[in-house]
Structure 1
Amino acid sequence: MSPPGSSLTNQWHPPDNPIPTHTSSYPFISPTKHRGALQDKVVLITGAGRGIGRATALAFAAAGARIACISRTKQDLQTLVAEIRVTHGNLDGGGGDPSHQRALPILGDVTDLSFPARAISETEQNLGPIYILINNAGLSRVSDLEHEADIRQPWKVVETNLLGAMSFTQSAIPSMIARNSGVIINVVSILGKLGVSSPYFSAYAASKAGVEKYTEVIDLELRPKGIVTFAVHPCMSLETSIAVGCMNEVARREEPGVGRFMDEFVVANTDKVDLPADTFVALCVEEGAKALSGRFVDATYDLEEQIRLAKER
């Protein structure tokens, strides 16, 4: 019998894969390499309060960006923005003028269809035009189908992951098109890839597959207008809170396979959140990364090699 997590890890990282893999940041995407490279560029990050989103906000702040941090949790936002301001300061070294803020907290739910326009308007008024949009807000659900009694629970996953990304993109692109520049990063998952399947993640996998296809299609429209898009699998990490509260406890009790699967799944989550955070920054800074526009990018695979292979193709 395979040790816990081994079969899952091998599925995500096939042994015959020629591209080197990483579990944490590495020289090509290092923060020291890109420090100040996005000076005063405005970045909007959904799901910024915890895990990958929080690490991403800190990484972009280190690169000199101004960040609109979106979350449903007020305390998480306050803590994050305070850390950014203490570590990186405001543009004038003070805190009086909103236009000089390094980070802006915005409280809201990405499934509220009126929220994206409000959030983008508030960002542009206080920080300036949005140059980078990172659709990171995510929700998961672990359950077998037999014990999923209320369809509204898995549907909330689809609304958060797919509808949230689509609605924020729709609201952000007018000003990007007007300026003929912009970057959109949609956070997807290896679990949404064709040929990579795991049981009990049906809603999550379907929603992430939808985001990936959405990215591929909008790239055909937006790249000629100066906007690049990426669908990025970030990593599998215990440092993110996306799995908190996602378990259908009835399914865990009634279907033994659910519990066994989650035991293996948790053990396999060995990556660090600085890996996707620094990858996102590199995708916005490295000129060669444009070769990956519209494509699926795996942050656990060496980015320099992914760019090289994309250029060859």
Structure 2
Amino acid sequence: MEVATPAEAREVLRLKGGDNVGIQALTTMKEKNMSNPKQLAGKTAVVTGAGRGIGRAIALGFARAGADVAILARTESELLEVAGEIKAQGVRCHMGQVDLADPEAAERACAEVVAGLGNVDILVNNAGVDLELGQVADSDPEMWWRTVEINVRGTYLVTRFLLEHFNEGGKIINMSSGMGLRAAAQQSCYTVSKAGVHIFTECLANELWPRKIDVNNVIPGPVATDIFNRERRPERYTPEEVLEKFKDELPPGFPPQERIKHPDEVAELAVFIASQPVGGSTGQTFSLARRPF
């Protein structure tokens, strides 16, 4: 299996003045992935929040790379659609409709994954929400805490219940955010929750290296998902619609050097990380954002 060496990965991700580092990195990772398109054959992956957006793209990316994939999310109709696309790749798929912030439901869902697909090689904790915007003084305590429950507790619960069924040499990828590395007004619940995910990743990396399990964060930066549905219209934006909408001007709040990415670009990074040899990066953050945090 041909994979990038740590030195190659560092070179790809190194900041070069004026260059579009995100595109360069993704191009190199895609070339590495394409050199062995079934590099995850024989592996079993679990992806949370896999009904749409980044989670869906990662689940499909793993399937195209040959992995059997378990998908967990809250909406059955979305799961059914993604499951059909995964099976079309000639791999096995298990789907579970679940509220991952519920300990009993999360434990049951994880047990069903193992019963259906066996032990796990790859886990992507992608499920996340941002339910409460505004100042703390005006916030809804229930929505504030619900964000933390899903983003932090959900990540913890799925990891906790799958760890005893993890194969040596496994990979855990936690979907973090640059918001978890700096304070932000009006978004305290999301910022706090992603800070929790970030440090949880580092704790896990320190605990799991003796088992040869690598744990890393991914900061995707802005991605063309339904988060840009500010009008809250019933039908969801496709990634292509989001990219078209903001092709000439970024949404307010984004620095001019930033770039909205297609979810498939994040999937390329996830496949790249998941296919690294034992003893690669752990406790690290892979960022596709185009600004420092």
| Alpha-carbon contact 2:72-2:95 (below 8 Å) kept | yes
Q: Which amino acid aligns with 1:263?
A: P
Partner residue of 1:191? Answer: 179
Q: Which amino acid aligns with 2:150?
A: T
Cα separation, partners in 2 of 1:67 and 1:121, compared to 1, 3 Å: same
SS at match of 1:104: strand
Partner residue of 1:83? Answer: 85
Cα separation, partners in 2 of 1:23 and 1:276, compared to 1, 3 Å: farther
Q: Distance in 1 between matches of 2:225 and 2:20?
A: 25
Query: 87, 104, 116: which one pairs with 1:114?
Result: 104
Structure 1: runs of 5+ lacking an equivalent: 1-13, 91-101, 248-260, 302-313
Asked if residue 163 in structure 1 is aligned to residue 153 in structure 2, the reply is yes
SS at match of 1:21: helix
Cα separation, partners in 2 of 1:152 and 1:124, compared to 1, 3 Å: same
> Greater RCO between the two (CA within 8 Å, min separation 6)?
1
Once the 2 structures are TM-superposed, how far is the Cα of residue 23 of structure 1 from its aligned partner?
8.8
Partner residue of 2:163? Answer: 173
Deviation sequence 1:217-250 (CA, Å, 0-9, x none): 121110111111001112311x223465799xxx
Identity of aligned residues (%): 29
Partner residue of 1:202? Answer: 188
Q: Distance in 2 between matches of 1:292 and 1:148?
A: 41
Once the 2 structures are TM-superposed, how far is the Cα of residue 263 of structure 1 from its aligned partner?
3.4
SS at match of 2:71: strand
Q: Which amino acid aligns with 1:190?
A: G
Partner residue of 1:212? Answer: 198
Partner residue of 1:294? Answer: 283
Once the 2 structures are TM-superposed, how far is the Cα of residue 166 of structure 1 from its aligned partner?
0.7
Q: Distance in 2 between matches of 1:244 and 1:148?
A: 23
Partner residue of 1:310? Answer: none
| Alpha-carbon contact 2:69-2:86 (below 8 Å) kept | no
Partner residue of 2:140? Answer: 150
Partner residue of 2:240? Answer: none
Q: Which amino acid aligns with 2:109?
A: A
Partner residue of 2:275? Answer: 285
SS at match of 1:140: coil
Deviation sequence 1:153-173 (CA, Å, 0-9, x none): 111111111111111111111
SS at match of 1:279: helix
Once the 2 structures are TM-superposed, how far is the Cα of residue 181 of structure 1 from its aligned partner?
3.1
SS at match of 2:81: helix
CA RMSD of aligned residues (A): 3.0
Q: Which amino acid aligns with 2:190?
A: Y
Query: 222, 225, 234: which one pairs with 2:208?
Result: 222
SS at match of 1:111: coil
| Alpha-carbon contact 2:124-2:172 (below 8 Å) kept | yes
Q: Distance in 2 between matches of 1:241 and 1:165?
A: 21
User: How many residues get paired?
Assistant: 258
Cα separation, partners in 2 of 1:73 and 1:24, compared to 1, 3 Å: farther
TM (norm. structure 2) is: 0.78
Cα separation, partners in 2 of 1:149 and 1:232, compared to 1, 3 Å: closer
SS at match of 1:125: helix
Q: Which amino acid aligns with 2:176?
A: V
Q: Which amino acid aligns with 1:67?
A: V
Asked if residue 270 in structure 1 is aligned to residue 260 in structure 2, the reply is yes
